């Protein structure tokens, strides 16, 4: 194959050899095998025809001209053609004269088609493996996301029980609240990535999206419950600057990712997204009231 001329590429002209390879690459496995088989039969017919030219001595593969039965002669020509196409070369039949040119052409073209066939097969297997790996990774990330929200809700439940029991929170519970909010910020920021088709090979299905929407809604609802409980027991949570900072950041993230999430979702879950925005607005109103 001749080297690629850079000026040809710059002018937008693709070499013909590349065009042929690209066309063959786009064919199915059945079509490629059919082409390979058809080539074997056509070259066998050419060898068979050469065996009748000039007595079959000068240009036909050896031994073909010595076979009187036409069917048996063609069978041997087909055998030689297949051996040549597979580059096996037993040596019992060898090319002579013009059949050398045909054998060379057949060997190159047959190997090219076979190489494309094998390449497509390996590429398909790699793609299947990559898809399966991504699916398993996706399942793990999805599970960790919901589990992380569940853990955050449990932390908020502990804080609610502590407030109801002692009408106050110790330093450990305030720290747990801050960590829970930071964890939720990270989890919420990753949600739109479940729909990145250009990067991933696996996209969240409708059932899992419903589970994720429910987890987000329950988590935000639990945050509002916690703040209501703290307010009912006269616990001044808004005087803690670190808590306020993390709550404001969470509200900001939910405000930004929810419309993006809704836009990327291929499913009709408008009511669920509205519920999430309502939960977020309740948190925002609590922040505004605390500032006033």
Question: Rounded distance, CA 51 to CA 78, Å?
Answer: 13
User: Would the pLDDT of 186 be above 80?
Assistant: yes
Residue 250: closest CA among 221, 283, 275: 283
Does 110 reside within a domain?
A: no
Q: How many domains does the chain have?
A: 2
Residue 127: closest CA among 202, 195, 194: 202
**Same domain flag for 136 and 279:** yes
Does 247 reside within a domain?
A: yes
**Same domain flag for 263 and 188:** yes
**Same domain flag for 285 and 140:** yes
- Record the tokens describing residue 275, joined without a space: 């519920």
The band of 55, judged by pLDDT with boundaries at 50, 70 and 90, is confident
Question: Could you tell me which residues come within 8 angstroms of residue 200 by beta carbon, excluding any fewer than 6 positions away?
Answer: 134, 138, 193
Lowest mean pLDDT among 58-72, 164-178, 193-207: 193-207
Q: Which among 81, 96, 111 is the end of a domain?
A: 96
Does 78 reside within a domain?
A: yes
The band of 192, judged by pLDDT with boundaries at 50, 70 and 90, is confident
- Record the tokens describing residue 88, joined without a space: 């096996």
**Same domain flag for 258 and 134:** yes
Does 23 reside within a domain?
A: yes
Does 11 reside within a domain?
A: yes
What secondary structure letter does DSSP report for 11?
T
User: Would the pLDDT of 75 be above 90?
Assistant: yes
User: Would the pLDDT of 21 be above 80?
Assistant: no
Contact 221, 282 (CB under 8 A): no
**Same domain flag for 82 and 132:** no
Does 17 reside within a domain?
A: yes
Lowest mean pLDDT among 8-22, 68-82, 83-97: 8-22
> How much is the pLDDT for 84?
93
**Same domain flag for 155 and 58:** no
**Same domain flag for 13 and 65:** yes
**Same domain flag for 42 and 149:** no
The band of 95, judged by pLDDT with boundaries at 50, 70 and 90, is very high
Lowest mean pLDDT among 130-139, 192-201, 281-290: 192-201
Contact 276, 220 (CB under 8 A): yes
Query: pLDDT: is 264 or 131 the higher one?
Result: 264
pLDDT > 70: what percent of the chain?
A: 90
- Domain extent, residue 56, equals 6-96
> What average pLDDT does this structure show over 44-69?
89
**Same domain flag for 53 and 146:** no
**Same domain flag for 135 and 266:** yes
Question: Rounded distance, CA 18 to CA 274, Å?
Answer: 53
**Same domain flag for 92 and 132:** no
Does 116 reside within a domain?
A: no
**Same domain flag for 132 and 263:** yes
Does 218 reside within a domain?
A: yes
Task: Report the chain's mean pLDDT, rounded to a whole number.
Answer: 87
pLDDT tens-digit series, residues 3-14: 445 444 444 555
Name the residue with tokens 């096996």.
Answer: 88
């Amino acid at each position: 194959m001749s080297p690629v001329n850079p000026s040809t590429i710059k002018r937008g002209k693709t070499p013909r050899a590349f065009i042929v390879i690209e066309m063959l690459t786009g064919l199915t496995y059945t079509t490629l095998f059919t082409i390979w088989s058809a080539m074997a039969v056509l070259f066998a017919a050419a060898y068979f025809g050469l065996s009748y030219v000039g007595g079959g001595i000068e240009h036909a593969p050896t031994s073909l001209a010595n076979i009187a039965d036409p069917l048996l002669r063609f069978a041997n020509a087909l055998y030689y053609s297949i051996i040549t196409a597979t580059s096996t070369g037993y040596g019992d039949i060898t090319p002579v004269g013009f059949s050398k040119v045909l054998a060379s052409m057949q060997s190159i073209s047959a190997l090219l088609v076979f190489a494309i066939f094998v390449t497509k097969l390996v590429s398909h297997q790699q793609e299947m493996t990559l898809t399966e790996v991504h699916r398993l990774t996706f399942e793990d990330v999805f599970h960790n996301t919901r589990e992380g929200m569940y853990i955050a809700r449990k932390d908020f439940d502990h804080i609610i029980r502590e407030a109801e029991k002692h009408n106050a929170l110790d330093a450990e519970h305030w720290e747990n609240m801050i960590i829970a909010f930071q964890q939720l910020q990270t989890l919420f920021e990753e949600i739109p990535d479940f729909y990145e088709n250009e990067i991933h090979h696996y996209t969240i299905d409708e059932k899992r999206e419903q589970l994720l929407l429910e987890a987000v809604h329950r988590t935000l609802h639990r945050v509002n419950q916690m703040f209501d409980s703290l307010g009912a027991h006269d616990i001044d949570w808004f005087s803690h600057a670190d808590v306020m900072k993390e709550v404001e950041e969470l509200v900001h993230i939910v405000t930004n990712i929810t419309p993006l999430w809704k836009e990327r979702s291929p499913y009709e879950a408008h009511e669920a997204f509205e519920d999430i925005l309502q939960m977020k607005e309740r948190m925002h109103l609590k922040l505004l009231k605390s500032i006033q």
